[in-house]
């Protein structure tokens, strides 16, 4: 289908972009890589009156360390993340970056676009949840820093207001003894996940887990934290019993629907399996 008519602007500064969103509140939409939005326009599932293309805002594309955080600009592409030495230091983030779509998707799609779009099957939201990241958004008047765990409200619904632009993702730099991993199963290479798990753990010198983040993608209405798995991990040591607890918590905690990716029971089993695979790799990377 051909998209409905819309106005188009390509501002050269963040302030100009924010002014456009403010002046056309409710009818303007941000365009980043376009890899989720353009298909919606073509199917007329989205019919914005104005597209605010942030493709010129190069100062929103960066990866840096500052203030004890990894800070990533919203316009950073999946490919730039995959290539970043700073991102490579996190097993969790580098696992996820390399497994998104195909090279074309990774070259165009952005971290900010993926997080703002909040597709329950996309990969970054679970990574943000497990690594306890924050999402920075701005409008003309103020900046808000929203914990990822309060950001994903429903399917394709986030805490971003229509006049706000997502500018940055902030990830706390984990202490020594931390490891993370992302495990994903998909129907074919380059596809969205059938089930995926993000795990980050910190272990002390005796091998006890002192901090844990566990989140799942593609098996519920939203990406979500597996609270029961995190509780089981805290204070525990690696063991087959611990793996069973995490597997059960993931499988029972999700709420998948039957679709082209498979039936409900299969998806539950895969949620448990992905959680255990990510846990094993995360513990190995943590030195446990
Ligand atoms: C064939 C294919 C395969 C894919 N496979 C995967 C996959 O395996 N895993 C995965 O996670 N994703 C996958 N994707 C999605 C891809 O990662 C997209 O890049 C991502 O979902 C959206 O990023 P974008 O930059 O293209 O955003 P856009 O499509 O430009 O925007 C998406 C939405 O976010 C809003 N938005 C964008 N940027 C901002 C911002 N800075 N502030 C506020 N709002 C903003 C837009 O208004 C729009 O509503 C795939 C896409 C395709 C087409």
The 10s digit of each residue's pLDDT in 197-239 is 999 999 999 999 999 999 999 999 999 999 999 999 999 999 9
- 36 C-alpha to ligand 1 centroid (Å): 4
Atom of ligand 1 nearest to the CA of 164: 43
DSSP 162: T
Residues 185 and 191: their CA atoms lie apart, in Å, by 9
User: What pLDDT, in 10s, does the model give residues 236-267?
Assistant: 999 999 999 999 999 999 999 999 899 999 99
Q: Answer whether residue 1 shows pLDDT above 80.
A: no
By C-alpha distance, which of 91, 96, 95, 90 is closest to 69? 90
Task: Take atom 33 of ligand 1 and give the residue whose Cα is closest.
Answer: 117
Backbone phi, psi, residue 258, to 5°: -75, 130
Average pLDDT for 257-281: 96
Task: Take atom 40 of ligand 1 and give the residue whose Cα is closest.
Answer: 166
- 264 C-alpha to ligand 1 centroid (Å): 26
User: What pLDDT, in 10s, does the model give residues 135-154?
Assistant: 999 999 999 999 999 999 99
- 122 C-alpha to ligand 1 centroid (Å): 9
- 78 C-alpha to ligand 1 centroid (Å): 10
Residues 197 and 186: their CA atoms lie apart, in Å, by 12
CA max distance for the chain: 62
8 A C-beta contact, residue 151 and residue 33: no
User: What pLDDT, in 10s, does the model give residues 83-136?
Assistant: 999 999 999 999 999 999 999 999 999 999 999 999 999 999 999 999 999 999
- 115 C-alpha to ligand 1 centroid (Å): 8
- 236 C-alpha to ligand 1 centroid (Å): 37
Task: Take atom 27 of ligand 1 and give the residue whose Cα is closest.
Answer: 113
Task: Take atom 37 of ligand 1 and give the residue whose Cα is closest.
Answer: 113
Task: Take atom 14 of ligand 1 and give the residue whose Cα is closest.
Answer: 101
Confidence grade of residue 170 (pLDDT, cut at 50, 70, 90): very high
Residues 279 and 37: their CA atoms lie apart, in Å, by 33
Confidence grade of residue 42 (pLDDT, cut at 50, 70, 90): very high
| Domain residue spans of the chain | 7-53, 58-172, 178-286
Atom of ligand 1 nearest to the CA of 38: 29
Atom of ligand 1 nearest to the CA of 99: 8
- The reported pLDDT for the residue numbered 258 is 94
- 49 C-alpha to ligand 1 centroid (Å): 19
Confidence grade of residue 288 (pLDDT, cut at 50, 70, 90): confident
Residues 116 and 46: their CA atoms lie apart, in Å, by 15
178-286: CATH superfamily: CO dehydrogenase flavoprotein, C-terminal domain (3.30.390.50)
Confidence grade of residue 190 (pLDDT, cut at 50, 70, 90): confident
Confidence grade of residue 18 (pLDDT, cut at 50, 70, 90): very high
- The reported pLDDT for the residue numbered 270 is 98
In terms of CATH architecture, what is 7-53? 2-Layer Sandwich (3.30)
Atom of ligand 1 nearest to the CA of 60: 41
- The reported pLDDT for the residue numbered 180 is 98
SS3 183: strand
By C-alpha distance, which of 189, 263, 217, 45 is closest to 119? 217
Task: Take atom 49 of ligand 1 and give the residue whose Cα is closest.
Answer: 117
Measured in whole angstroms, the distance separating CA 260 from the mean position of its chain's CA atoms is 22
Task: Take atom 4 of ligand 1 and give the residue whose Cα is closest.
Answer: 101
pTM of the model: 0.97
8 A C-beta contact, residue 104 and residue 34: no
- 119 C-alpha to ligand 1 centroid (Å): 8
- The reported pLDDT for the residue numbered 128 is 98
Residue 210 tokens read as: 């002192």
Confidence grade of residue 2 (pLDDT, cut at 50, 70, 90): confident
Residues 134 and 149: their CA atoms lie apart, in Å, by 8
Backbone phi, psi, residue 9, to 5°: -135, 145
Task: State the residue for tokens 């403010």.
Answer: 22
Which residues surround ligand 1 with Cβ inside 6 Å? 29-37, 74, 100-101, 105, 109-110, 112-114, 116-117, 119, 122-124, 160, 165-166, 192
Pick the CATH number of 58-172 from 3.30.465.10, 3.40.640.10, 3.30.70.890, 3.90.550.10: 3.30.465.10
């Amino acid at each position: 289908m051909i998209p409905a008519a819309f106005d188009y602007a390509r501002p050269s500064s963040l302030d100009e972009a924010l002014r456009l969103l403010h002046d056309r509140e409710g009818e303007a939409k941000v365009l980043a890589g376009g890899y989720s939005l353009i298909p919606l326009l073509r199917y007329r599932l989205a019919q914005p009156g104005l597209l605010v293309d942030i493709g010129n805002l190069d100062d929103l594309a960066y990866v840096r360390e500052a203030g004890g955080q990894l800070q990533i600009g919203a316009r950073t592409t999946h490919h730039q993340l995959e290539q970043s030495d700073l991102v490579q230091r996190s097993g969790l983030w580098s696992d996820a970056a390399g497994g998104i779509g195909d090279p074309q998707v990774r070259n165009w799609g952005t971290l900010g676009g993926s997080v703002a779009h909040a597709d329950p099957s996309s990969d970054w939201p679970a990574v943000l949840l497990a690594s306890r990241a924050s999402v920075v958004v701005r409008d003309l008047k103020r900046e808000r820093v929203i914990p990822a765990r309060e950001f994903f409200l429903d399917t394709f619904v986030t805490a971003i207001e229509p006049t706000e632009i997502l500018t940055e993702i902030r990830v706390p730099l984990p202490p020594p003894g931390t490891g993370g991993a992302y495990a994903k199963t998909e129907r074919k290479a380059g596809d969205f996940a059938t089930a995926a798990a993000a795990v980050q753990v910190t272990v002390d010198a005796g091998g006890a887990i002192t901090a844990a983040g566990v989140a799942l993608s593609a098996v519920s209405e939203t990406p979500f934290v597996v609270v029961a798995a995190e509780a089981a991990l805290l204070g525990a040591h690696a063991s087959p019993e611990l793996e069973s607890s995490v597997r059960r918590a993931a499988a029972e905690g999700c709420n998948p629907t039957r679709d082209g990716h498979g039936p409900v029971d299969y998806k539950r089993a895969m949620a448990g399996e992905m959680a255990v695979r990510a846990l094993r790799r995360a513990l190995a990377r943590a030195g446990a």
